[in-house]
Amino acid sequence: MPLKDAANFRFILGSKSPRRIQLLGEHYPAAEIVVQPSAFEEDLAKEASPTAAAYVSATCWGKMTDLLPGLFPGMEPGLPASPGPGAAQVLRTPAEAVARLAGAPLPPAGRGFRYEIVICADTVVVLPGVPEAAAPGPQAARSLPLAACQSGDQIVEKPADEGQAFAMIRTLCDRGSHMVLTAVACAVVLASVDPGAGPGPGRLAASFCHTFATGVDMCPASDDTIRAFIAQSHPYDKAGGYDIQSDLSRMIIRGSRDGLASTVIGFPIEAFAALMDALF
């Protein structure tokens, strides 16, 4: 039975991102969705990661390992400490993700039980191996927080202030194109719904972590255009300082390619839904 038609499940979203909440709710309008943000500090050392995909998948899995034990104390078996090397393999389509899924499909939850589907995600903007000629100029470099992983890819996260937002978008526009990575971790827990029995420890039925990539092409925007975009948008909670779904984004973005647009938004919902359909 497709997940969107099933009654014996609940989503627990480990993110307060309004965009992720909206995408999940639009795809599963009848679902119960609980928002329970992870408290994991997104401060892993980028230079210790072999690739940007390894960094974003490790951060995403860190959110899950922080969140899940508090939701289901004593859950058996426990969640693996790491997502495994396959989590850093870059995917672009739902079919690629489903092909990597092991252990599907799951049996029905059974009377008095339901599947709790816990979701965490992390998104970064990546400048692949910034060449010297395309590196940000001295003024932008002073306020642009870039950190390179071992592959040379430079990771751009969320701007802290207007100066960082301008430096990020100026650099992205100057480069012309870049890549956005979103890692999605999911743990499916079979748990009791008997009010008298309490939540119980639950049993881990399935877990996965996949990293999705999409290319983004930028406009050759002027400094004034970038400042106008920043003044009219809210860049501080978005990787790279922009979103792709708003009308305002047309000021600085041509469009996305070679992947799902929802990956750039922060939750590749089409791939997630395909994985859920395969599991259930």
pLDDT digits (tens, 9 = 90+) for 181-222: 999 999 999 998 875 555 567 899 999 999 999 999 999 999
pLDDT digits (tens, 9 = 90+) for 137-172: 544 444 565 678 888 889 988 999 999 999 999 999
Residue 132 above 60 pLDDT? Answer: no
> pTM higher than 0.95, yes or no?
no
Residue in 98, 105, 134 with CA at minimum distance from that of residue 275: 98
Q: Give the pLDDT confidence score for residue 103 in this predicted structure.
A: 75
The string of DSSP codes covering 129-190 is T--GGGSPPHHHHHH---EE-TTS-EEE---SSHHHHHHHHHHHHHH-EEEEEEEEEEEEEE
CA torsion through residues 227, 52, 23, 61, sign: negative
> What's the CATH code of the domain at 215?
3.90.950.10
Q: Give the pLDDT confidence score for residue 141 in this predicted structure.
A: 44
User: Under DSSP, is residue 74 helix (H, G, I), strand (E, B) or coil?
Assistant: coil
Q: Give the pLDDT confidence score for residue 148 in this predicted structure.
A: 81
Q: What is the spatial distance between Cα 113 and Cα 8, in angstroms, rounded to a whole number? A: 7
Which domain range does residue 128 map to? 3-279
Residue 91, CB half-sphere, CA atoms under 13 Å: how many?
Answer: 25
Q: Give the pLDDT confidence score for residue 195 in this predicted structure.
A: 59
Question: Could you tell me if 208 and 89 are in contact, meaning their C-beta atoms sit under 8 angstroms apart?
Answer: no
Phi-psi region of 241 (alpha: psi -120 to 50; beta: other; left: phi over 0): left
Percent of all residues in the chain with a pLDDT value above 90, rounded to a whole number:
69
pLDDT digits (tens, 9 = 90+) for 1-47: 466 555 678 999 999 999 999 999 999 998 899 999 999 998 899 99
pLDDT digits (tens, 9 = 90+) for 245-270: 989 999 999 999 999 999 999 999 99
Per-residue confidence at 110, pLDDT binned at 50, 70, 90? confident
Total tally of structural domains belonging to the chain: 1
Q: Which two tokens stand for residue 89?
A: 């393999």
Residue 89 above 60 pLDDT? Answer: yes
Question: Could you tell me if 266 and 256 are in contact, meaning their C-beta atoms sit under 8 angstroms apart?
Answer: no
Q: What is the spatial distance between Cα 272 and Cα 191, in angstroms, rounded to a whole number? A: 21
